[in-house]
Amino acid sequence: MANDNLEKLRHSSAHLLAQAIKSLYPKVKLGVGPVIENGFYYDFDNLEIKESDFNKIENKMRGIIKRNYKFVKSKKQRKAAEKILKDEPYKLELLKGLKNNDITFYQDGDFVDLCKGPHVNSSKDVKFFKLTKIAGAYWKGDSKNKMLTRIYGTAFHNENELKDYLKLEAEAEEKNHVNLGKRLGLFVIDETIGKGLPLLTPKGTTIRRVLERFIQDEEIKRGYQYTRTPVLAKSDLYKISGHIDHFRDDMFIFDANGEEFALRPMTCPHQFMIYKSELRSYRDLPIKYAEIADLFRNEKTGELHGLIRVRQFSLADAHIFCRDDQVEKEFENVLDLIQYVMKTLGFKDYWYRFSKWDPKDKKKYVNNPKAWKNTQKIMKNIVDKLKLKYVEADGEAAFYGPKLDIQMRNVFGKEDTVFTVQIDFALPEKFELTYEGEDGKKHRPIVIHRSSIGCLERTIAMLIEHTGGNFPLWLSPTQIRILTINDKNIKFANEVLDKLSEEGLRVELNDRNESIPKKVRDAQVEKIPIVITIGDKEQKNKKLAVRTLNGKVKFNVNINKLATIVKENIENKNAKFSI
RNA sequence: GCCUUGGUAGCUUAGUAGGUAGAGCAUCACAUUGGUAUUUUACAAAAAUGUGAAGGUCUUGAGUUCAAUUCUCAGCCAAGGCUCCA
């Protein structure tokens, strides 16, 4: 109920915004003004403003609010509606899309808008609102259409809620992986190197390496075979696959002495060539080729974002070549692997998206409706059988087949695909992949494309935001830091350092001449999970004082025992460590 | 690619109605007091205080000007949004 009220409030705020804009800038044409997750927006054409104009606009809105206008609902017939909206081309377009003849309008004061409501009773009910940002947005979300000016805002029932929200937003800004990653020294961005090409520091690389080893070991355990294929190929390869037709502008293509090459945007055709290099029997299947593949995509500049959207990235990719009767089982296996990975990484807030083709979009998708329907059916059966909760999304499939995407949100609430599983009926055809069946005839395998731990860069970004930088022990770039209380302890501290390093732990020593609280604070800021303090007492007893991130300190810990506990925690990839 | 915002020392930033820049933290050095300290998270210190140094072609280029970090234009880079995402 409260949420309904909040929606009403925000929707009414959007109207007031439009009303204020219309009165300040009469030439503006109105787009749409819906409520969104944390507020509302309104799109305007023919409006050029800056964020510094917000004050003026907000004041105008307050002026309107004061007049205590009632929001009055009315219904009009189509003809009458067209008359009302005659000067609003975008609204007329929306009107055309409406099927029924009773058109609802809301009016407050001299401002009337096409709108199905609902609204608050009076403009006076809107008290606590704020305009937050300006952005460009294409009319009807289509980049072929004109770009309108979108103003975002939010509104709440009381001042504290509004303040809290703005504060939370500011904190999210702090917690985002770009800021946090920089502060923790995980990666840097250098403009001489170029856009979308972040550099992983030794610490960031440690996390990457741990993830990489983890997934490789796990996949090999599950019957995958690792390949190593080149990061570039003659562009002919991508002509066969069709990628160059679909994505030419998004690829790095170059000429080398008259021959055209491309940096690979995906791994599929490379691994296909290994499959093709031998005659395959039905007995060989399924064949599962995996690779941590460096991929290159010339993403448009505005689409780049920290570690989440980059131009070179490493995808934990695999292609499973299987017979029709194996698809279901293999698909299940993949999901099991993905769920295991999600659990191990500690990700809980994710959901599945069943991404389907759009029959109307002939350009984007391989034209084979029968095969589309068939594969989508197969996928649907599987996900239904597994009782997965998922949302369906039309027009989100890969050009060669439907996908099951695993979606997550970043700190700003923006949704991204982290992992994906695809059933591909088209590329095996294009590459003429075959296997010899029991009947001695050639058959076409089905290929499952899948990623288990996604792009390592993106996964690291999600980990940073999800943990707030407090990585579990097995992922922490530095697992243990040793602090000395005074210079006499340095020798023993080094012994401990050597001992723990020999055990394969990532240990550092801070023997600088600073106070213990300061050293502890530094370690805290760097989010180091285990801190060992060494003073004379420890030195004398050959025991350690061990501090964990929860603030607890345990004294008189035996070194070997500590090493055992820590190693066990790492081995089990536990989310938390305590002693 | 488009819209908005921004780019000043390693980090966080102030500032200039156009006269070549300050601060805090961090770093390094020296001095003074202390005199070898028994322990854990942000108004704290179980070393403290002081002095000093180093660090900036004020994102790049062009234009206007006697003079540009500041104004204008163009580019580069970043952040947020739109579109896209094999």
Which residue ranges make up each domain of chain A?
2-175, 188-230+263-467, 480-571
DSSP H helical segments within A222-293, as ranges? Answer: 236-241, 243-247, 268-276
Q: What is the CA radius of gyration of chain A?
A: 29
Q: Which nucleotide is nearest to A193 (CA to C1')?
A: B77
- Tokens 């608050």 correspond to A120
pLDDT by residue for chain A (579 residues), tens only, comes to 456 788 889 999 999 999 999 988 888 999 999 998 888 999 999 888 888 788 888 988 999 998 888 888 888 888 888 888 888 899 988 888 888 888 899 988 888 898 887 888 888 888 899 998 889 999 988 888 899 999 999 999 988 888 888 877 777 777 788 888 888 888 888 777 888 888 888 889 999 999 999 999 999 999 999 999 999 999 999 999 999 988 898 999 998 889 999 999 999 999 999 999 999 999 999 999 999 999 999 998 888 988 999 999 999 999 999 999 999 999 999 999 999 999 999 998 899 999 999 988 888 888 899 999 999 999 999 999 988 889 999 989 999 999 999 999 888 788 889 999 999 999 999 999 999 999 999 999 999 999 999 999 999 999 998 888 889 999 999 999 888 877 677 778 888 888 899 999 998 887 776 667 777 877 877 888 898 888 777 877 788 888 887 777 888 888 899 999 999 999 999 988 887
**AA identity, residue A168:** L
Q: Which nucleotide is nearest to A488 (CA to C1')?
A: B36
Residue A528 in contact with residue A478, Cβ under 8 Å? yes
pTM for this predicted structure: 0.88
Whether CB of A496 is under 7 Å from strand B: the answer is no
Please classify residue A411 by burial: count the beta carbons closer than 10 Å to its beta carbon, then call 0-12 exposed, 13-18 middle and 19+ buried. buried
Distance from residue A143's CA to nucleotide B3's C1', rounded to whole Å: 12
Strand B nucleotides below 7 A of a protein CB? Answer: 1-5, 7, 12, 36-42, 44-48, 76-86
Whether CB of A569 is under 7 Å from strand B: the answer is no
CA-to-CA distance for A558 and A556, rounded, in angstroms? 6
Sheet strand arrangement including A103-108:
A72-76, A103-108, A111-114
Q: Which nucleotide is nearest to A315 (CA to C1')?
A: B86
User: What is the Cα A257 distance to its own chain's centre?
Assistant: 39
Element (H, E) at A462: helix A456-467
Distance from residue A542's CA to nucleotide B47's C1', rounded to whole Å: 26
Distance from residue A200's CA to nucleotide B57's C1', rounded to whole Å: 29
* β strands within A310-402, DSSP E: 312-322, 351-356, 390-394
Task: Copy the structure tokens of residue A422.
Answer: 């695809």
Whether CB of A541 is under 7 Å from strand B: the answer is no
Whether CB of A519 is under 7 Å from strand B: the answer is no
Q: Which residues pair with A112 in a beta bridge?
A: A107
Distance from residue A135's CA to nucleotide B42's C1', rounded to whole Å: 38
A126: Cβ contacts below 8 Å, ≥ 6 apart: A9, A12, A13, A16, A61, A65, A120, A155
Whether CB of A36 is under 7 Å from strand B: the answer is no
Nearest one of A146, A187, A126, A151 to A53, comparing CA atoms:
A151
pLDDT at A513: 66
Q: Which nucleotide is nearest to A512 (CA to C1')?
A: B47
Whether CB of A178 is under 7 Å from strand B: the answer is yes
Residue nearest the C1' of B11 (CA based):
A183
- List strand B contacts in A 454-493 (CB < 7 A): 483, 485-488
DSSP H helical segments within A25-88, as ranges? Answer: 54-66, 78-84
Whether CB of A196 is under 7 Å from strand B: the answer is yes
CA-to-CA distance for A326 and A330, rounded, in angstroms? 6
Nearest one of A263, A314, A312, A322 to A289, comparing CA atoms:
A322
Distance from residue A485's CA to nucleotide B35's C1', rounded to whole Å: 16
Nearest one of A175, A151, A156, A157 to A166, comparing CA atoms:
A156
Q: Which nucleotide is nearest to A295 (CA to C1')?
A: B86
φ/ψ (deg, to 5) at A248: -50, -45
Q: Which nucleotide is nearest to A137 (CA to C1')?
A: B82
- List strand B contacts in A 44-83 (CB < 7 A): 48, 50-52
pLDDT at A330: 95
Task: Copy the structure tokens of residue A224.
Answer: 């995958």
* β strands within A125-176, DSSP E: 128-138, 147-156
pLDDT at A1: 43
DSSP H helical segments within A483-515, as ranges? Answer: 490-502
Whether CB of A149 is under 7 Å from strand B: the answer is yes
Distance from residue A379's CA to nucleotide B10's C1', rounded to whole Å: 53
- Tokens 């997550």 correspond to A408
Distance from residue A474's CA to nucleotide B40's C1', rounded to whole Å: 23
CA-to-CA distance for A15 and A459, rounded, in angstroms? 40
- Tokens 């993403």 correspond to A299
Distance from residue A550's CA to nucleotide B34's C1', rounded to whole Å: 35
CATH class of A2-175: alpha beta
Distance from residue A485's CA to nucleotide B52's C1', rounded to whole Å: 29
Angstrom CA distances, A290 to A323, A519, A530, stand at 18, 44, 35
- Tokens 């940096």 correspond to A263
Element (H, E) at A148: strand A147-156
CATH number for the domain running over A188-230+263-467: 3.30.930.10
pLDDT at A6: 85
- List strand B contacts in A 383-442 (CB < 7 A): 398-399, 403, 412-414, 416-417, 420, 422
Distance from residue A54's CA to nucleotide B76's C1', rounded to whole Å: 29
- Tokens 């160059």 correspond to A244
DSSP tag of A372: H
Q: Which nucleotide is nearest to A36 (CA to C1')?
A: B81
Residue A449 in contact with residue A425, Cβ under 8 Å? no
Nearest one of A236, A363, A212, A351 to A291, comparing CA atoms:
A212
Distance from residue A377's CA to nucleotide B64's C1', rounded to whole Å: 68
Distance from residue A49's CA to nucleotide B66's C1', rounded to whole Å: 37
Nearest one of A109, A70, A108, A103 to A84, comparing CA atoms:
A103
Nearest one of A293, A303, A299, A294 to A311, comparing CA atoms:
A299
CA-to-CA distance for A251 and A205, rounded, in angstroms? 26
Task: Copy the structure tokens of residue A172.
Answer: 């999210």
Q: Which nucleotide is nearest to A514 (CA to C1')?
A: B47
A480-571: CATH, from 3.90.1150.110, 3.90.1150.10, 3.40.50.800, 3.40.50.150: 3.40.50.800
Distance from residue A52's CA to nucleotide B71's C1', rounded to whole Å: 19
Please classify residue A487 by burial: count the beta carbons closer than 10 Å to its beta carbon, then call 0-12 exposed, 13-18 middle and 19+ buried. exposed
Evaluate whether ipTM surpasses 0.85.
no
Distance from residue A486's CA to nucleotide B54's C1', rounded to whole Å: 29
Whether CB of A193 is under 7 Å from strand B: the answer is no
A258: left (phi over 0), alpha (psi -120 to 50) or beta: left
Distance from residue A411's CA to nucleotide B7's C1', rounded to whole Å: 24
Residue nearest the C1' of B81 (CA based):
A135
The three-point CA angle A344-A350-A352 to 5° equals: 115
Angstrom CA distances, A488 to A223, A507, A515, stand at 53, 20, 14
Whether CB of A531 is under 7 Å from strand B: the answer is yes
**AA identity, residue A422:** Q
CA-to-CA distance for A380 and A371, rounded, in angstroms? 14
A542: Cβ contacts below 8 Å, ≥ 6 apart: A492, A559
Residue nearest the C1' of B85 (CA based):
A299
